[in-house]
């Protein structure tokens, strides 16, 4: 099997002793088909057991291994070494507090996810005896793409609005609100609008579009946010400009 | 274990140099300045028109000065670029679903370009170019 020597420059931060982060250079023999996460695992196993980072599935499903790789938000289990030349710079996800080395604190994202009520709020509650809430394939397709999010937060690391205005609810959480709004079984849009149609909601988005470019699950958060801007504008027009109109 | 998270600040005035996509975004936003400036020019033109024939003739002559022609050309380029970014965005903002499938995005953006072309011809016709 073909091997090659890979150089990684990894951001290190120890909350117990450091006031600043610094880069540490590692040289590690890797197999040609490895990803950045494999290289980090090899470093941790053979060179430096103090290196910290998160991962779980190694197959772009769990969403826990997001990092900045040469400045770009990536799943490290999905970033093939062969795509990079020279020293590979690995940093924790941008725009999140660094807990230790490559581990960031996702608390803010988790809190924002909760605020958009990312679950079905049925139009009318019915007893279990009446059976399931049915949906046609066409109704499913209306939101399917937006249900593919793996909560990896790469879109938050790519979004300059979130970096500059941390109050912004942000791409993934707002997209999830859209996913439930678009669901034929759901009746919770009005409740979600209290978070969505605000300055911290979709109106903080200036359509940079970086979220959609970096999303590993092809969710296209930018499209969801633009669609919500249109529906929120229509709500406003109906409410304010049409006599007797209610949103 | 104690928590002492490190905040890495985003440089407020230079973040857009981090990736070409941010520069593309900034260039789209900057086109608005030209479009705003052109609107001011139109308002000045209206004001000149209301001030009588001599003022209006003076305004038209000023429009033909080299500096003014360069300015109008830059405004045109900015407006076309800005419009193109928005027409390209329409397929994301206004998807059309027919049954289980979505109408191809290029068709939605393409329809906007077509409508733009038709309206431009109408405007030029009304302006007496043909
Ligand atoms: S929308 Fe995409 S980039 Fe953002 S958290 Fe979900 S999967 Fe990750
Ligand atoms: S380890 Fe699960 S997404 Fe990379």
pLDDT digits (tens, 9 = 90+) for A35-45: 999 999 999 99
Which residues make beta-bridge pairs with A72? Answer: A69
Q: What is the pLDDT of residue A125?
A: 86
Concatenated DSSP letters of A36-85: HHHHHHHIIIII-TT-----S-SSSSS---EEEETTEEEEGGG-BGGG--
The bound ligand whose nearest atom lies closest to the alpha carbon of A112 is 1
Measured between CB atoms, does B104 come within 8 Å of chain A?
A: no
Q: How close does chain B come to A33, measured CA to CA in Å?
A: 27
Prediction pTM value: 0.94
Q: Which residues contact B44 (CB under 8 A, 6 or more apart)?
A: B59
Residue A122 DSSP class: B
Q: What is the pLDDT of residue B30?
A: 96
- Chain-chain contact of A230 with B94 (C-beta, under 8 angstroms): yes
Helix-then-strand count for chain A, H and E: 9, 7
The bound ligand whose nearest atom lies closest to the alpha carbon of A59 is 2
ipTM: 0.89
CA-nearest residue for atom 1, ligand 1, is A172
Q: Which residue of A has its CA nearest to B9?
A: A95
Q: Which residue of B has its CA nearest to A103?
A: B5
Give the Å distance between the CA of A58 and the centre of ligand 2. 5
- Chain-chain contact of A99 with B92 (C-beta, under 8 angstroms): no
B1, B6, B82, B86: which to substitute to probe chain A, counting the most A Cβ within 10 Å? Answer: B6
> Where do the domains of chain A lie, and which CATH numbers do they carry?
3-104 (3.10.20.30), 107-240 (1.10.1060.10)
Give the end-to-end CA distance of chain B in Å, rounded to a whole number.
Answer: 78
Q: Which residues contact A168 (CB under 8 A, 6 or more apart)?
A: A159, A161, A162, A200, A204, A205
Q: What is the pLDDT of residue A52?
A: 98
Q: Is the pLDDT of residue A246 over 90?
A: no
CA distance A128 to A45: 51
Q: How confident is the model at residue A100 (pLDDT cuts 50, 70, 90)?
A: very high
Under a CB-based contact definition with an 8 Å cutoff, are residues A221 and A215 in contact? yes
Q: Which residue of B has its CA nearest to A106?
A: B5
Which residues make beta-bridge pairs with A25? Answer: A9
CA-nearest residue for atom 2, ligand 1, is A215
Contacts of B2 in chain A (CB under 8 A): 15-16
Q: Can you tell me whether residue B16 is helix, strand or coil? A: helix
Q: Is the pLDDT of residue A247 over 90?
A: no
* Tokens read off for A13: 């931060």
Burial class (CB in 10 A: 0-12, 13-18, 19+), B83: middle
Under a CB-based contact definition with an 8 Å cutoff, are residues B66 and B83 in contact? no
CA distance A211 to B19: 13
Q: What is the pLDDT of residue B36?
A: 97
């Amino acid at each position: 099997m073909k091997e090659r020597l890979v150089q990684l420059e990894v951001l290190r931060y120890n909350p117990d002793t450091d006031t600043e982060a610094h880069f540490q250079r590692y040289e590690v023999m890797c197999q040609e088909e490895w990803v950045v996460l494999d290289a980090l695992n090899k470093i941790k196993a053979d060179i430096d057991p103090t290196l910290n980072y998160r991962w779980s599935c190694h197959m772009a499903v769990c969403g826990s291994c997001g990092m900045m790789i040469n400045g770009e938000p990536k799943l490290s289990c999905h970033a093939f070494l062969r795509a990079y030349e020279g020293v590979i710079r690995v940093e924790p996800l941008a725009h999140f507090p660094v807990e230790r080395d490559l581990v960031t604190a996702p608390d803010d994202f988790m809190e924002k996810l909760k605020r958009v009520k990312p679950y079905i709020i049925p139009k009318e509650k019915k007893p279990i005896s009446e059976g399931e809430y049915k949906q046609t394939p066409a109704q499913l397709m209306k939101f399917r793409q937006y249900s593919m999010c793996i909560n990896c937060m790469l879109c938050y690391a790519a979004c300059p609005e979130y970096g500059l205005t941390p109050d912004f609810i942000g791409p993934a959480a707002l997209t999830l609100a859209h996913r439930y709004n678009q669901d034929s079984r759901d009746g919770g849009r009005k409740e979600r609008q209290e978070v969505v149609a605000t300055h911290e909601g979709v109106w903080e988005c200036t359509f940079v579009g970086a979220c959609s470019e970096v999303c590993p699950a092809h969710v296209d958060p930018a499209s969801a946010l633009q669609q919500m801007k249109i529906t929120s504008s229509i709500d406003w027009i109906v409410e304010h400009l049409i006599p007797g109109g209610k949103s | 274990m104690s928590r002492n998270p490190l905040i890495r600040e985003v440089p407020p005035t230079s973040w857009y140099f981090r990736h070409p996509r941010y520069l593309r975004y900034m260039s789209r936003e900057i086109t608005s300045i030209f479009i705003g400036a052109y609107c001011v020019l139109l308002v000045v033109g209206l004001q000149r028109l209301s001030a009588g024939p001599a003022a209006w003739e003076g305004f038209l002559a000023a429009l033909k000065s080299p500096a003014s022609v360069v300015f109008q050309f830059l405004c045109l380029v900015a407006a076309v670029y800005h419009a193109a970014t928005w027409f390209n965005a329409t397929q994301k903002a206004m998807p059309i679903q027919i049954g289980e499938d979505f109408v191809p995005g290029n068709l939605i953006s393409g329809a906007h370009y077509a409508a733009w072309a038709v309206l431009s011809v109408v405007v030029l016709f009304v302006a007496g170019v043909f």
